[in-house]
Amino acid sequence: MKRVLTFGTFDLFHYGHLRILERASKLGEELYVGVSSDSFSLSKKGYYPLYKEQERMHIVSSLGFVHGVFLEESMEKKRDYLSQFNASILVMGHDWEGKFDDLKDICEVIYLPRTPLISTSELIQRIKLEY
- Residues serving a catalytic function are 44-45
Whole-number Cα distances in Å, 62 to 34, 67, 113, 114 = 14, 9, 23, 21
Q: Name, in order, each residue with C-beta under 8 angstroms of 106's C-beta and a sequence gap of 6 or more.
A: 79, 82, 83
Whole-number Cα distances in Å, 120 to 3, 32, 107, 110, 123 = 27, 21, 29, 22, 5
Is residue 107 a contact partner of residue 83, using CB atoms and an 8 Å limit? no
Reported as half-sphere exposure (CB side, CA atoms, 13 A), residue 95 has a value of 7
What gap in Å lies between CA 105 and CA 117, rounded to an integer?
Answer: 33
